[in-house]
Structure 1
Amino acid sequence: MRRKFHDSILRAYDIRGVIGETLNSEDAYFLGLKFSSYIRKKTHTSRVVVGYDGRLSSKLLNTQLIKGLVDAGSYVTSVGVCPSPMLYYADKILRADGSIMITGSHNPSNYNGFKMIVGGKSIYGDEIQKLAKYNETQTPQKGISKRFKIDDSYILEITKDIKNINPDLKVVWDTGNGAAGNILKKILKLLPGKHHLLNSEIDGTFPSHHPDPTEEKNLKQLKKKVSISNADIGIAFDGDGDRIGIVDNKSNFISGDKLLYMFATEVVKDNPGAIIISDVKASNMIFEQIKKIGGTPLMWKTGHSFIKEKMRKTKALLAGEMSGHIFFADKYYGYDDALYASIRILKILSKKNIINNLLKPFSKLISTPEIKIFCNDSIKFDIVKRCKSDILKKFSDVTTIDGIRVNTKKGWWLIRASNTQPAIIVRCEAESEANLTDLILEVKSFLDKYGIKNNL
């Protein structure tokens, strides 16, 4: 017996789809059967940790996934509702053969999916395709499932070095009704400082705003509260707590690449020559400044699974993405944890006082945000491939590790297909408005050629 999943849900670094359309509870059950067989072949045993976020569909998917795992002979440890980083922590501490986090991450409420770990490493790309093709096998000897509370252990781990946080700091937090809400409430009882918490109740309909803190339109409430409360910083999380969004004391948004640079200044100071990885969407200035302070910058593909694997291979101590995923391996486990990252930023702020003092090298740059242009999942990669063919004929300084990134005398620009949304991603950066406009028009010409509607 072999269950065929909808082709569109097998993404580059996870399984993700629309509930009731491309993904349902039967898929969760059969994924459990397949995953159990898959990890048994890899590790010879089948101890699996499972967690889920606060989406309305997550509880049912959790029930059916565990049923499939148990029917295939797995010994399942369920950690319940949690942010993704807590599931990653459980995978490490419990030394699981495999782990699955049920989450739609930063996608709209009607999405859900599965992030998977085998042998301590995220599975992605071809491995997800292989998993999907596995035969489902029920075993005569069923496994068992047990509940395990790991919340307190996780909280103790990420708060074990908070003594240097300034007790006078004023911080506004917005969990966006996501899975980090309950954990953050407990963390704030331990953190020095004066804290105000927004949208902390877990609600899978996301009534406050869309659960993506890297889009400024979702930070309006946070910015307003930072302003009226005269706070030092505002911190927001996505639906499963692995993305972070920051606004400074003037309610200015701090992009993910600038945030990475702030962390890099501390990591490189303690570890000269450290490899620091950033994704293809990051500013050129990030790579220049990391090199200037004594680090070793490395550009890599966007995507949490790709980044974690590259960190493992290169022994990088820090990595980050424009999307707000920050990965620490200097004093932590190397996975993306927005809750842990927030504590690290408070420690920096306690020493540096004003965030913008760290970001002076970027003051002359003018850049677009990460622009998402709707493009159907079925054609987005082909469109980028066609653009790539044209671009390589016209430009010589091109990076193609993920989409197409073009360096010109006026600045740089990027076109790539999103791996998590039906979208083509565009970003441009220059040192003047005129040059930025020229770069945007250049990108627009390629997208227009292939009929991609855009407002560039």
Structure 2
Amino acid sequence: MFPKPLPSLTPNTYDYESLPMVKPTGFREYDARWLFQKEINLMGVQALGMGLGTLIHELGVRPEIITGHDFRGYSSAIKYALVSGLMAAGIRVKDIGLALSPMAYFAQFALDVPAVAMVTASHNDNGWTGVKMGANRPLTFGPEEMGRLKEIVLSAAFRLQPGGTYEFVENFAARYIADLTDRPKIKRRLKVVAACGNGTAGAFAPQVLEAIGCEVIPLDTELDHTFPRYNPNPEDMKMLHAIADKVRETGADVGLGFDGDGDRCGVVDNEGEEIFADKIGVMLARDLSALHPGATFVVDVKSTGLFITDPVLRENGVKADYWKTGHSYIKRRVTELNALAGFEKSGHFFFNAPIGRGYDDGLVTALAVCDMLDRNPDKSMADLYRALPRTWGTPTMAPHCADEIKYEVVDRVVKRFESVKAGGGAVAGQKIRDLVTVNGVRVVAEDGTWGLVRASSNKPELVVVVESPVSEERMREMFKAVDGVIRENPEVGAYNQTI
């Protein structure tokens, strides 16, 4: 009999070393995230493994799973605690060791294993841990599976059984790298900055880019789990500024930045301009739809309106589907619609055949960017960016809001904008043309300027993004209006970054 997990325990006590601790809010919409030692302990991770194993049997999936871990000082210990729980639940574990999240997803195909549990906190700051899980490749869990997993773990409703085994898969990274690089080299000699923020991607990204024919300029590629310069997050302006500086210093053709577990890629052009990922998505959609006219692209609600209005995409017959933010949601939608690709403003890109296997891989995105430049030998990255219709957009901004209250706050914000629209009122000086409430609220003014507010799926934050096709002034007016509604809620704190 395994004890029922407790929501909190005091470290450095008898109970902390004798009982499982699992804070309920760590079970998020499509993966799990906790502050290690403050919100979950190793015995709690063991309980998570037993719960995941129980759920796998419940789903009727063959009881085999891929595990791996990212480069943080505590990730391997967490993985082995998870593995012990999985084995207790009768799961046969294949461990690929230190890995990127997409390497674990690839292993599901390469080793013919149905389930995956990748130990990673992705782009979260040090101190965080988490698990990205799935049992139906290339998909990862959504709210239904995460809700059931939470129920099993917190009630200790484990079904423990014999049959669990452990196998370490040696040198699996070489197999992953070979899969990415077994292709023709690019013809254009590209000088590429590969920035990894001292995270896991530093062990893999430079050699993959070199293997396809790029001249690679490494930036913070040495593995260092203290992340001494900045958090490896290509949505973070500090990382983007560092890439831009290196591009200008070296005269590189492009800068590519990878997050902590390598499933996202950020891009800086040859002039040092930091291009938000949704605009990169439009550029890639232009390039790919020329090869695949009439293609469907799924994009998240944080993304630019250009996927609908861009004249080149319209001419190529592109169908754009705006969907919920989150790697699990977009991945699932790409599969459902058999879309060519899915793009998130965060830098998660999902490519279906013939480019990828439907899951998010920052290195596949990097290769797609290099191929786009290779197919346009007379144009620079800056030329391709300038060819897009001009819009003025903010970075992703995140005001603090506790996990326990953030969804309620967003519901209040949605109702507030619905009330304004119903009453014929104005937002940022104009009437509301549209409200998109598939994920939080995206309020669109008559001139196309829009602002989004939603709850972060993996951190105690709200998410705010604003864009205007008219002017920077209109963008700022919309931000002021949206922020004004947010500030009606005293539970909302300071932004991580703002305009």
1:123 to 137, 141, 153: 141
Identity of aligned pairs, percent?
Answer: 30
Deviations 1:155-192 (A, max 9, x none): 121122342341x2111111111111112243244231
CA–CA distance in structure 2, aligned partners of residues 245 and 165 of structure 1: 23
Q: Is the 8 A contact 1:72 1:138 kept in 2?
A: yes
Establish whether residue 24 from structure 1 lines up as the match of residue 50 from structure 2. no
CA–CA distance in structure 2, aligned partners of residues 25 and 292 of structure 1: 55
Please name the residue that 1:350 is paired with.
374
Deviations 1:383-414 (A, max 9, x none): 11001111101125100000100111241111
Q: Is the 8 A contact 1:262 1:358 kept in 2?
A: yes
Establish whether residue 398 from structure 1 lines up as the match of residue 455 from structure 2. no
State the Cα distance separating 1:141 from its structure 2 match. 4.3
Please name the residue that 1:427 is paired with.
465
> For residues 453 and 47 of structure 1, do their structure 2 counterparts lie closer, same or farther at Cα, with a shift above 3 Å needed?
closer
Please name the residue that 2:216 is paired with.
195
Partner secondary structure for residue 407 of structure 1: strand
State the Cα distance separating 1:140 from its structure 2 match. 4.0
Please name the residue that 2:394 is paired with.
368
Q: TM (normalized to structure 1)?
A: 0.95
State the Cα distance separating 1:291 from its structure 2 match. 3.1
Counterparts of residues 132-143 of structure 1 (less than 5 Å): 132-134=150-152, 135-143=157-165
Stretches of structure 2 lacking an aligned partner (at least 5 in a row): 7-21, 422-431
Q: Is the 8 A contact 2:199 2:225 kept in 1?
A: yes
> For residues 361 and 351 of structure 1, do their structure 2 counterparts lie closer, same or farther at Cα, with a shift above 3 Å needed?
closer
Counterparts of residues 34-73 of structure 1 (less than 5 Å): 34-73=51-90
State the Cα distance separating 1:234 from its structure 2 match. 0.7
Deviations 1:114-164 (A, max 9, x none): 000102221121211201222223324443333343212211211223423
2:126 to 100, 103, 109: 109
Q: Give the letter for the 1:348 counterpart.
A: M
Q: Is the 8 A contact 1:69 1:143 kept in 2?
A: no
> For residues 379 and 195 of structure 1, do their structure 2 counterparts lie closer, same or farther at Cα, with a shift above 3 Å needed?
same
Please name the residue that 1:442 is paired with.
481
Partner secondary structure for residue 235 of structure 1: strand
Please name the residue that 2:404 is paired with.
378
Please name the residue that 1:284 is paired with.
305
Deviations 1:36-64 (A, max 9, x none): 22112223531111010001110101111
Q: Is the 8 A contact 2:271 2:382 kept in 1?
A: no
Partner secondary structure for residue 52 of structure 2: helix
| RMSD of aligned alpha carbons | 1.8
Q: Is the 8 A contact 1:304 1:336 kept in 2?
A: yes
Deviations 1:350-407 (A, max 9, x none): 2323123323454532122211112222211111100111110112510000010011
Q: Give the letter for the 2:174 counterpart.
A: D
Please name the residue that 1:74 is paired with.
91
CA–CA distance in structure 2, aligned partners of residues 192 and 186 of structure 1: 10
Deviates more, 1:430-439 or 1:256-265: 430-439
CA–CA distance in structure 2, aligned partners of residues 101 and 115 of structure 1: 5
Q: Give the letter for the 1:153 counterpart.
A: R
CA–CA distance in structure 1, aligned partners of residues 210 and 435 of structure 2: 49
> For residues 327 and 164 of structure 1, do their structure 2 counterparts lie closer, same or farther at Cα, with a shift above 3 Å needed?
same
CA–CA distance in structure 1, aligned partners of residues 250 and 211 of structure 2: 21
CA–CA distance in structure 1, aligned partners of residues 162 and 175 of structure 2: 35
> For residues 453 and 97 of structure 1, do their structure 2 counterparts lie closer, same or farther at Cα, with a shift above 3 Å needed?
closer
Q: TM (normalized to structure 2)?
A: 0.87
Establish whether residue 85 from structure 1 lines up as the match of residue 124 from structure 2. no
CA–CA distance in structure 2, aligned partners of residues 428 and 72 of structure 1: 46
Partner secondary structure for residue 231 of structure 2: coil
Q: Give the letter for the 1:314 counterpart.
A: L
Please name the residue that 1:224 is paired with.
245
Q: Give the letter for the 1:157 counterpart.
A: D
Aligned positions, number? 455
> For residues 95 and 267 of structure 1, do their structure 2 counterparts lie closer, same or farther at Cα, with a shift above 3 Å needed?
same
